[in-house]
Structure formats: C-alpha cells, structure tokens
Structure 1
Amino acid sequence: MNFLEIMSDIAHRNNGDCYIGVVGPVRVGKSTFIKRFMEKAVIPYITDEDDKKRAEDELPISGSGKTITTGEPKFVPANAIAIKAGDDYTINVRLIDCVGYIVEDSLGYLENGKMRLVKTPWFTEELPFDEAAKIGTEKVIKEHSTIGIMITTDGSFGDIKRESFISAEEKTVEELKITGKPFVIILNSSLPGDENTIALRQNLEKKYQVPVILKDVSNMEEKDATDILKTALEEFPITSIALSLPTWVANLSDDHYIKKSLNQTVEDKIKEAGKIKDINSLLPVLKENEFADDVSLTDVDLKTGIITITIDVNQDLYDKVLSELVGCEIQDKDELIKKISELTMMKKEYEVIGNALSMAMSTGYGVSSPKAENCKLNKPEIFKTGNRYGIKISSTAPTYHILRVDSQQSFEPILGNKEQAEYFLKTLEEAYNEDPQSLLEKELFGQKIKDIISSTLLIKVNSLPEPLKIKLQSIIKALTDKGKNNLIAFVF
C-alpha cells in the first residue's frame, strides 16, 4: 500500500479526516518529525499552489542542543489541507505539534527562576509550561487527533542523555493510554542500526505494549511515513468479524450445533483480538474448534475494521449432517435420491396444511386455503329464477380445519406412607426447579414420566368416537358452506 492508500484508510475511519497528534518529551525531535513528514509525504500531494505555499510557510522550526523551541501547541498547517486520494475521495490532513513534557537537563522552560508561562489554544490565560504539556497532550490526542504518534529518543543526538527522557516518556504514554486513541511510538535515533538502539526498541515495546518504530526522523522519506502510518492503522480496533463458511454450513439454521459452535468460538475469541494487528494470533485459536478443518484470513478492510475469516469444515461432517437432517443413515446416492423424493412428497403435503397449522398453533384454529387444482367441478346446469335463466357451475374442494386442543390430564400414584411421598416429592421438585423438562426423564414404577404422560394423552385423544368425529366434520362443513356464524352446542 502506498502513502495515499494508507491515509485514505485512516480517513475513512474518521469521516475523511487524518489528524496526527505528535506528542512526547521535549527535545526528542517532534518538530523535526512534523517538518520532514510534511515535506516528504504530504506537501508533494497538495495540488493547489496556494495551499502548498501556506503549508510550507507554516512548517515548524527545528532546534538543536538543550534549548526548547516549541513553546506552545501548533497546528501544522493552521487549517487542514485537502489532498485528493483518487477521483472521488478527499482527505483532510493536519499535524499537531504539542508542548512536550519537561526533561531534566533541558533549557528554556524556566523564566527568572520560575516555570515559564505559555499560551495554548484552549485557554485565554497563559499556563505554566509543565501544566500546558499535560493538558496539551490530553487535548491534542483526545479532541484533535485521529491517531497519536509519540516521539522519544535514545539520546544519540543533542546533549541530553537517554536517562533524562524516561520519566517524561512514561508520563506521555500514560496519558495516551487514558485517551484510548490508537498510537505508536517512534524511537528517534541518529544510530538506528546500532545493536544497543535495536535492543532498546525491543525493551520499550515490551514495556509499553505498543509498537515502537526505530527511525532517524531527520532523514525520513515518504516510505518511512507510510510504514509509520500503516503500523498506526493496525492499532485501530476490529469492529466486527465476518465468517465465510462452506455453503452447506452457511445454509444450516443458526441454532444448528456446528454453526452455533463456530459462531460462539469467534464471539469468545474476538475479545482477545481487539486490534487489527492481533488478528493473526486469533487464527490458530479458532482452528482449535472441533469442527474447523482450516482457518484463514480472507480479507482485512482497514477502512471499516471488518475482518473476514474463512473457516473450512471437515468434509466428513457433510455426510453426518445430511443423515441427521433426513433422519436416517445415507449410504449412497441411491439412498439419497430415495430420501429426497420422500421428503419432496412430504413437503408438498405440508404446503397444503402448513399455514393452517401455523394459525392453529398461534390462535387455536387454522384453515387451509383451497387450491384451484384440487377443485372438483360438477357438470354445468341451467336454472330458472322468475322469468330469467342462468347457468350454475358448482365445485367441491377439500379444506383442512385444524384445531389446537390443550388436553389436560394428571396421574396420582399411591406411593406408601407420608414420608415416602414427601421424599419423592422433594426429588421431583428439585428436578423441576433446575429444569422443568428434566422432570420428564424421572422414573416412576419403572417407567419414565414422559412415557406415562404420552400414553395417557394418547388414550384420551383416541377415545373420541368415530360418529362424533363425523358429526363435528358435518357441523364445520355446514357452517362454512352456508356462511353461518351462530352455533349452539351441547356437551355432556
């Protein structure tokens, strides 16, 4: 990815803005970084000549030695510069040079033996230098920045030793972490290839748990700026994970045990991979799922933070799931075709009464809609009414009336004395309180309670005599055909 592509991805996360807050101790090269970053990476892409000149004129001045040169926060440029990234997208770019935390041995923060007062954009009155550094770091990152870049140094340039920067460095990182904004650390060194400097970078990364990039900012090029922003972009949070599953798995219901297990694993593990950079460490963990055969990273949309992960499921599960869905073991293609034919027939039959069944389940009464192809036409005949004649075309069509009847029943076994009954009642109550459905699995006189209930209900349902069923059918037919809505019934 090139510089503009990286900037574009960051801007998409922030409504087109790419504002970079540059913070850290004094005398570490913050102004030098901003000047070099603008000269090599931003200004070459500014097409408007007036904007380009304004950006060049507003670049910060870099100093050397122990004297502090940045006495107040500065926006570079003062107003964001628009850079075109492609034909239809514009990025608003601005860097913020912050007052640094005071470093021992630095000069310029005292005035007549007292803390120097400096101006800030946030208050009308001047603030002491050390207070301006703390407030400025927080406000620059929290209110004015898309990402943060903290600059520190190994002490290889200037006249201040590395040890003097540590306290200010720690304070800056602490403030940055409180804001919650993504940030990276740049270890500025005039000896980036030195073994001690490389070891320091590793130690800082371990200490702060933040990416530390080793650079000589005074010699930075566009590629260096791109690498820094790419690392910063990987500090943005993952917004969601999209799963790409084999089609046959994707078509399973969401509560199917395979799909449910995979989704649950992703949901549990995404908490461990909060940032884009963590995604690669997530893949081996996802592969531990019992149903995952292979896990791969398919796409990382840096603009949105959406990660797409492809999970391949063990192909042996296909036959197992297929057998479970159709309700029998599928040995070969012949068996599969036979079963599909049976299920197709059942589906056609269900389509006739499906709506009626749904209505009965929700309201207690459901009626199927008659279909024209099921109508039986009678022979047309002529009829007379008064002095006029007409044609009568009659037909019959089956409709299915489904009633939901909540049958009630109870059984009252005699168990013995009172103590025996109370003991067994306590056992049943404990099972009921834990899970009412588990009560059905309890045994009574060698039979499960669910079997006793089922057999009792079956007897009740089958006890309805055939003549009565025919009468009920005749009543429904008469009410439907004649459009009547009054019914007097005697039940005894």
Structure 2
Amino acid sequence: MSEEYIRDIVERTSKELYLGVVGPVRSGKSTFIRKFVESLILPNVHDEDLYKKVVDELPQAADGRTIMTTEPKFIPNQIMSINLDDLDVKVRLVDCVGFVIPNSKGYTDDEGPRMVHTPWFEEPIPFKDAAEIGTRKVIEDHSTIGIVMTTDGSICDFSREDYLEAEERTINDLKQLDKPFIVVLNSRHPQKQETQALRDTLVEKYDVPVLPISVENISLRDVNRVLKEALYEFKIKELNIKVPSWISVLNENHSVKRQFDDVIKNVSNEYQKLRETNKIVEALRENEFISDVQLTAVDPASGSAEITVVCKDELYNEIIESIIGQKLDDRGEFISLLQEYREAKHEYDSISSALHMVRQLGYGIATPRIEDMKLDKPEVVKQGSRYGVKLRAIAPSIHMIKVDVESTFEPIIGTEQQSQDLINYIMQDYDRDPLSVWKQDIFGRTLDSLVVDGINAKLYVLPDKARQKFRDTLEKVINKGSGGLIAIIL
C-alpha cells in the first residue's frame, strides 16, 4: 500500500487496524485472513518468536463441503503492534463462524445442532446462533473495519445460489451496525465479464463496494485495494460546503438563506459516507440557484471534505433587489442607491444609540458628532492676577422622548349583537396573524388608517410655540442645571 493510504487508514482507525471477516460458510474467510496476514503483517514482524507464533495461529483452509471454522478465532490471539511505513499500528483479524448455506457439512452432529464455544458465553451454543451472534459482536465490539466474504460459486463445490440467503443476511446485519465494511467477491476468475457483471449487480442491490478477488491468489495489491475501499466507507466527520460570501451573510430568515440551509441539511443527512461526497456534489448541482459545484478537498485520514458552490449571477441580482425593496434597471441606479444608503446610514449611526435608549428607557440622547461641533474663537480671560484661555464650543445634541399616545375609535352600529359581530370580524385571524387585525375593513377604511388618523390628530395639536418652549427649557436645564427641579409653564 502506498504510504499515503496506509497513513490515512491508520489515522482514521486511531492506529487500531482490526478487521472482522464475516459472511457465509465456505466463502473463503479463513483463506482471506491467512493471505492478508502473509501479505501485509508478517513482512513487518521482525521478532522471530512472534513471527512463528502468528504463523502457528493462522487458520487452515481446505476444499470440499465441510465447514472449517467452527468457532470464532482471533488472529493473532493477542493484539500485536507492527510498524507500517514508520507508523506503529495495532493489528488483529477475527475469523467469524459463518452463516450456514444449503448442502454444507459440519454444523450438525449425531446429537443434532453442533455446539460451538465462543468468547461471549461460558456454555457452548448452537452453530447457527454462533454465526448470528458472532457476526454482530465481531463487527460491533472487535473491529474497526468489516469484510464480508461471499463468492460467485466458482471456488468450491457450491453453486452461487447456495450463498444468496446467507450473503444477504450478513450484509443486512452489518448495515444495522455503525461500522464501515466492504464486500469481497471471491472468484477463481475475477476478471471475467460474468464476474464483473455480478459485482455490478451486488453493488446496485446492496449499495456497498464489492471487489472481485481470487482470494487463493490474493496479492499485496489486492490487500491494498481492500483497505483503500474500506477507507472511503467511513463516515464523513466534517463537511464544509463553501457558498458565496453574499449568501453566508444573509439574515437567517431570508428565503434564499433558508433554502440553502435546507438543501445542505438534506444532503448531509442523506449522504454520510466519505465515498458519497460525489453524490453530494451531484445533488447540489440539481439546485435551481447553483451553477457549478466542485469537490475541492477530501482528507480520508480526518474524514473531512470540502465542497465549493458557485451560484448563478441572476441570483445575486435577485437578492440585491429583495434587500433594497425595488427593481434595478441598470448598474447606475444601483450605485446611486448605494450612495443614498451610505448617507442614510451615516445619519442613522449618529442617532442609533439614542433610539436604543429611548426604546428601553423612554428617553434617549445622541451625542454630537465632531463635524457638528462649533468652536468659538478662543479668548484670553483674567482671574485675579492670573490669566487663562477660554474655549467655548457649541454642539447640537438630539434628545428623544417616547410618549404613548392613545387613539380611540367608537363607531355606533346598532344592537349589542351587531357590535359583537364586528369584534368577531376584526379578530377572526388574530391568533394566526396578529398583524392582520390592522388590515380589516371598517366602513370603507382599514383599522390602521383610522387609528393613525387619531394619533396624528393628537400629535400635531401641540403648537410650534409650545414645542419651542420645551426645547428652550430643556436647553437651559442641561446647560445651567436646575437642582433636580423642572417647572414647565406653557
């Protein structure tokens, strides 16, 4: 295996390369483990005693219909540490009792179902139970990667049909567990067209990677392929979908932002494996707002992927128009609006603190801006025998006062029932949309226009002279003080 991929899979498994090999009986599980150990592990074992120990523990295989693996077996028996590409890696494989297939021998004896010893129970259990329980426990508790062995029927005295039920049961069981796994299709002729067609059928049926391999003649290259395919079956740990900055800065309640968030959430939930990043790309390309999607980075070691999204130019224009509230015919109009908004923002910034205060406290003050300050000509002043300089500045401060204004509208319409009917009419949509009450039509006018007229009548009844007196009084209080007492006479 290339250093790149071995490092990736070692890091992704936290330096614990534990392979659980499961599947139907007589499919080549023991042979796969023996060849895997001989190809990848033994060449990296430099301790002679440990080397011999591992060789002695390798499972044996044979032709025929008799089941060879009659109890779960760990190879090596104790987890061992080896050095792969300058990385210390803990390795172990588990040879699991397989699911029984028709016409196989060795899972029964003269007394009935064959009893099997397992690491999980003190007492022996029936062979079929050992296969079912062992498959789950091996993958769930003792493996970082699962390998499902099956065959096209060319490796021994069984037909392809004999393996179908056990194969399907094994794969479906593994899909219920939260572990990455792949399928090895054991065949004497993996390159034949018929074998490749079967591989395609299995991929379509189970939606998992299927590798046709002659396990008896497996090479280091084949072992590398198995680990590489398994690497991409791990879940995505971090998915970074980079959208244009002008999408990211939109308010959360903006319709386009909500749609993007929904699309990203949906694809993230639907596709969770590292292998499925291309499917995420294709799903995003179907969105009406997106013109292009590129998979810009994948890091199998960390399980992260980065996807860059390019949006259609017209979407940018639509968003601009939705924000400013009017249609733009050309760029000149847009520039003109930006200039107006800049001036408006400059004015708003000078009073925003006062608005915040008046909404909270009922009274707000906007401190003067430097450009609004006026400095009188400095003059020399005398105090006793000493002299000084008098600096006098005048600056306008804006004071805001919140005054609750009442407006009452009392139409006389007839009977009590008619009055109650009018109330019911006005309030009919209040629970669903509280603001809708203001748009109810009463005597040819909306309720909000009637109320606004009543408020305006009170607001503008205060004469200009009285307003000026309020201003003058407040100015004297601020500049000269009042000892905490304010008396206003109009």
Normalising by the smaller structure, the TM-score range is 0.7 to 0.9
* Counterpart code for 2:338: I
Q: Compared with structure 1, are the counterparts of its residues 35 and 479 closer, same or farther at alpha carbon in structure 2 (3 Å cutoff)?
A: farther
Superposition map of 1:246-325 within 5 A:
246-325=244-323
Q: Compared with structure 1, are the counterparts of its residues 340 and 485 closer, same or farther at alpha carbon in structure 2 (3 Å cutoff)?
A: farther
Between the two proteins, the alignment pairs up a number of residues equal to: 487
Question: Does structure 2 retain, via aligned residues, the 8 Å contact 1:55–1:76?
Answer: no
Q: Compared with structure 1, are the counterparts of its residues 437 and 139 closer, same or farther at alpha carbon in structure 2 (3 Å cutoff)?
A: same
* Counterpart code for 2:150: T
The 3-state SS of whatever aligns with 1:120 is coil
Q: Compared with structure 1, are the counterparts of its residues 114 and 343 closer, same or farther at alpha carbon in structure 2 (3 Å cutoff)?
A: same
The 3-state SS of whatever aligns with 2:431 is helix
Aligned equivalent of 1:64? 62
Q: Compared with structure 1, are the counterparts of its residues 308 and 418 closer, same or farther at alpha carbon in structure 2 (3 Å cutoff)?
A: farther
Alpha-carbon shift at residue 74 of structure 1 (Å): 3.0
Aligned equivalent of 1:75? 74
Q: CA RMSD in A?
A: 3.7
Deviation string, structure 1 residues 435-487 (Cα, Å, up to 9, x no partner): 11233333233333333333433333333443443444455545555677845
Deviation string, structure 1 residues 16-59 (Cα, Å, up to 9, x no partner): 43322111122211122122223334555x48657983785366
Identity %: 36
Q: Compared with structure 1, are the counterparts of its residues 21 and 341 closer, same or farther at alpha carbon in structure 2 (3 Å cutoff)?
A: same
Unaligned runs of 5+ in 2: none
Aligned equivalent of 2:143? 145
Unaligned runs of 5+ in 1: none
Aligned equivalent of 2:435? 437
Question: Does structure 2 retain, via aligned residues, the 8 Å contact 1:51–1:81?
Answer: no
**What TM-score results when the alignment is normalised by the length of structure 2?**
0.83
* Counterpart code for 1:79: I
Q: Compared with structure 1, are the counterparts of its residues 163 and 292 closer, same or farther at alpha carbon in structure 2 (3 Å cutoff)?
A: closer
Q: Compared with structure 1, are the counterparts of its residues 97 and 420 closer, same or farther at alpha carbon in structure 2 (3 Å cutoff)?
A: same
Q: In 2, distance between residues paired with 1:463 and 1:10? A: 80
Q: Compared with structure 1, are the counterparts of its residues 35 and 320 closer, same or farther at alpha carbon in structure 2 (3 Å cutoff)?
A: same
Alpha-carbon shift at residue 432 of structure 1 (Å): 1.1
Alpha-carbon shift at residue 150 of structure 1 (Å): 0.9
Q: In 1, distance between residues paired with 2:164 and 2:319? A: 60
Question: Does structure 2 retain, via aligned residues, the 8 Å contact 1:41–1:221?
Answer: no
Matched, 1:32 2:31: yes
Q: Compared with structure 1, are the counterparts of its residues 451 and 36 closer, same or farther at alpha carbon in structure 2 (3 Å cutoff)?
A: farther
**What TM-score results when the alignment is normalised by the length of structure 1?**
0.83
Aligned equivalent of 1:447? 445
Q: Compared with structure 1, are the counterparts of its residues 325 and 74 closer, same or farther at alpha carbon in structure 2 (3 Å cutoff)?
A: same
Aligned equivalent of 2:342? 344
The 3-state SS of whatever aligns with 1:431 is coil
The 3-state SS of whatever aligns with 2:99 is coil
Q: In 1, distance between residues paired with 2:466 and 2:411? A: 32
Aligned equivalent of 1:19? 18
Q: In 2, distance between residues paired with 1:255 and 1:115? A: 64
Q: In 2, distance between residues paired with 1:358 and 1:52? A: 76
Alpha-carbon shift at residue 63 of structure 1 (Å): 0.9
Superposition map of 1:373-452 within 5 A:
374-378=372-376, 379-382=378-381, 384=383, 392-418=390-416, 420-452=418-450
Deviation string, structure 1 residues 290-340 (Cα, Å, up to 9, x no partner): 322333433344344444333322213334433444455544454444333
The 3-state SS of whatever aligns with 2:428 is helix
Deviation string, structure 1 residues 226-275 (Cα, Å, up to 9, x no partner): 33333333433345543322343344334333333222222234433343
